[in-house]
Amino acid sequence: MHPQDIPTVRVDEIPSDAVLLDVREDDEWAAGHIAGAVHIPMNQVPQRLAYDPGPITPVAQIVVTCKVGGRSAQVTAWLRQQGYQAVNLEGGMLAWDGAGKPMQAEGGGPAQVA
């Protein structure tokens, strides 16, 4: 799948029933993430889906995010090849934060994109 073939969605177009999948590393997630998102670091996605997929199912609308969209584009392509309905969040967490959307941090401090 070529990068131009990976479907994307803008922050203001995310379906209300979409499952948000954050594929950033643990320290990035802890600094700031979307409330209610599922966190699975990129390199753990195949294993996690094999033993504990949670809400990440082939029938769910999945929006994948990382910091700027590169890692999430790779995960989106992989998920689509496996039969999942996945799209990449255009601009990633930087776009989410830039749109003024709420984030939360682990430990209760101010959230930021790391």
Q: Which pLDDT band holds residue 8 (cuts at 50, 70, 90)?
A: very high
What is the spatial distance between Cα 18 and Cα 57, in angstroms, rounded to a whole number?
A: 11
The answer to whether 89 and 95 have CB atoms below 8 angstroms apart is yes
Structure tokens at 100: 């003024």
Query: Model confidence over 20-49: pLDDT tens digits?
Result: 999 999 999 999 999 999 999 999 999 999
Place of tokens 């809400």: 55
What is the spatial distance between Cα 96 and Cα 92, in angstroms, rounded to a whole number?
A: 6
The answer to whether 61 and 18 have CB atoms below 8 angstroms apart is yes
Query: What's the pLDDT score for residue 109?
Result: 85
DSSP 8-state class, residue 103? -
The class of domain 3-103 in CATH terms is alpha beta
Query: Model confidence over 54-78: pLDDT tens digits?
Result: 999 999 999 999 999 999 999 999 9
Write down the domain spans for the chain.
3-103
Q: Which residues are marked as active site?
A: 66
